[in-house]
Amino acid sequence: MELKGNELNPWKNALTQLHNTAEVIDLDKNIQKILENPAKTLITTFPVTMDDESIEVFEGYRVQHNAARGPCKGGIRYSPDVNLDEVKALASWMTYKTAVVNIPFGGAKGGVVVEPSKLSTNELKRVTRRFTYSMIGMIGPDRDIPAPDINTTPEIIAWVMDTYSMIQGYTGLGVVTGKPLEIGGSLGRLEATGRGVFIIMEDTLRQKKQSSKNVTIAIQGFGNVGSNFAKIAHEHSAKIIAITDAFGGCYNPEGLNIPELLDYVTNHHNRTVKNYPNGEPITNKELLTLNVDILAPCAIQNQITAENADKIEAKLIIEGANGPTTPIADSILNERDIVIIPDILANSGGVTVSYFEWVQSLQHFFWNEDQVNEALRKILVRAFAEVNQMKEKYNTKDFRTAAMALAVQRVARAIQLRGIFP
């Protein structure tokens, strides 16, 4: 099957998912119009003095999709591939993700067009502070709460918080989440997205009367999400047989030694799984089509498309990344009876613990890690059960439609209850 013209445009894909859901739940057309349009969009260009005293001009974006259910929430990513349609899509998916787990946030996302590995620490700091200054009128504990995303770290988020705080004249712990523990971060936040992927995977397997023990898993992406998912799944006796990242991959049909692999990545140049000595090389293309029980795309969007969907051999796909499967690929996989647990449910652990961090920061009262992990589990188990109820109610074949139905109805109800101002 050839790729359709808009298949790889994430915003078009997000709208397709919304339209498909609207048809299933008979969504009010006026509400649909609202959800088709982000509430606020910032496009900013800002100059930064580089270490050699030259000036470079960078472009950044912040999109707030919908705030009917609470202040907006969403990460900031640094990548040369960041574009407005990507950020709009990610913001809308965050609206639906927070609604699926029923936490009082709306959706936002931000990004800067930059390759951070080419910047010094001081240049990266100046880029972050100038971008934060551009967003000052948009962000705040009761407005929009940024967090880390691709190529951004707790340290970078600390600079965002400090810049905001210096301008406001007080320390605003609640303006960001994903902060370092020393300045108001939450225990369990770093592992939360990966842990959430595992919790949802366990629930899905339990529904199929299976356990995680000895299931074979292939993981695309070994950043924060993929590495923590791999670590927790390995601790529960799952067999991770293949992992790829941006530089390469490793494969061992007997199962990779995840603690050893984590040490290897930490201590080697570029922090990559490539050339790991106790595994065979594997490409990303090969990983996606391995015959495994579970495929976990935990990298970036548009990885499973019309081009490769008919070659997928996994019985279950659990989306650790945002938007890794295009709508055309969704249709192909559904026809093949391959179960997909969608991003807005599967990777919602991160924003859930971000919510816990926000609450802790506002109250200046912090939880222990067991409290965080137990609260996370309760929310995700409840969300999985509620998505299953939607699946039954609307007699849908797939989990994405059910999860979107749950989310869109919650957002629509909030809009209806609040009304349109003035």
CB-based contact 232:201 (threshold 8 Å): no
Pick the closest to residue 17 from 129, 97, 117, 114 (CA basis): 97
| 346, 319 contact by CB (below 8 A) | yes
Which ranges of 169-310 does DSSP label H, i.e. alpha helix? 192-207, 224-235, 258-267, 284-288
Tokens standing for residue 24: 């299933």
Instruction: Say which of 88, 109, 239, 391 is annotated catalytic.
Output: 109
User: Residues near 388 by Cβ (< 8 Å), separated by ≥ 6?
Assistant: 207, 402
322 contacts 225 by C-beta, under 8 angstroms: no
| Dist. CA 115–CA 122, nearest whole Å | 14
Q: Cα–Cα distance between 184 and 361 in angstroms, integer?
A: 6
For residue 422, whether the previous peptide bond is cis, meaning omega lies within 30 degrees of 0, is: yes
In the three-class reduction of DSSP (H, G, I as helix; E, B as strand; rest coil), residue 43 is classed as strand
29 is catalytic: no
Please identify every residue annotated as catalytic: 109
